[in-house]
Amino acid sequence: MSVTFDLFTKKTWLYNITLIITISTILFIAIAGFYNLQGESPFYSALLILGVIISFFFIFIVAPGVKQPYIKDGELVLKEDSLIIDNVKIPLSEANEIKLFVMSNRIEVIDKTGNIYKRRFVVSSRDENKEFNDLIKIWNEKGVTFGFLYHNVII
């Protein structure tokens, strides 16, 4: 059994820009509705319509992952007896410490030689999530211990 995840270091500029425009548009609409602001110029209306269109694009295309919101720069392969991160195969017996940061989908692996592999990965489907959980259970049965961190608190 093996599971493969995409590794990334940053989000795309399209994701960041559309996120900023979406948040700004939602805040503007909320403030305009609260204070009953009504723009009479065509610029005001055009800007509002453009913001709403970009927000719909973000909500229905970018956020759900139809368009990849990150720049892929590697793969994380988890197997029953090893893992491959940054094209380096690390048998579980040679891993001193494995930390999983739950909220940010980060993994940190320290091997016996002291090398630290720290990357963010993407779980893109429910099937991947289920396979990941099944593999973690198998690793636990083999005696592999993890440091699960949730909001920087060890679980």
Q: What is the DSSP string of 103-138?
A: TTTEEEEEETT--EEEEEEE--SHHHHHHHHHHHHH
Residues 150 and 87 in one domain: yes
Q: What is the pLDDT of residues 50-106, one digit of tens each?
A: 999 999 988 888 777 777 788 888 999 999 889 999 889 999 888 888 888 877 788
Residues 77 and 56 in one domain: no
Residues 83 and 122 in one domain: yes
Total structural domains within the chain: 2
4 belongs to a structural domain: no
Residues 101 and 150 in one domain: yes
Residues 38 and 101 in one domain: no
Residues 20 and 52 in one domain: yes
Q: What is the DSSP string of the chain?
A: -EEEEEEEEEE-HHHHHHHHHHHHHHHHHHHHHHHT----SHHHHHHHHHHHHHHHHIIIIITTTSS--EEEEEEEEEESSEEEETTEEEEGGGEEEEEEETTTTEEEEEETT--EEEEEEE--SHHHHHHHHHHHHHHHHTT---EEEETTEE-
Q: What is the pLDDT of residues 94-153, one digit of tens each?
A: 888 888 887 778 888 888 888 899 999 988 888 988 998 898 888 888 877 776 666 555
Question: At 135, which CATH number?
Answer: 3.30.720
104 belongs to a structural domain: yes
Residues 123 and 149 in one domain: yes
Residue 25 banded pLDDT, cuts 50, 70, 90: very high
- What average pLDDT does this structure show over 19-41? 86
Residues 79 and 58 in one domain: no
**The pTM is what?**
0.71
5 belongs to a structural domain: no
Per-residue pLDDT for 27 more than 90? yes
Residues 119 and 142 in one domain: yes
Residues 150 and 92 in one domain: yes
Residues spanned by the domain of 80: 72-154
pLDDT of residue 84: 92
Per-residue pLDDT for 18 more than 80? yes
Residues 52 and 32 in one domain: yes
29 belongs to a structural domain: yes
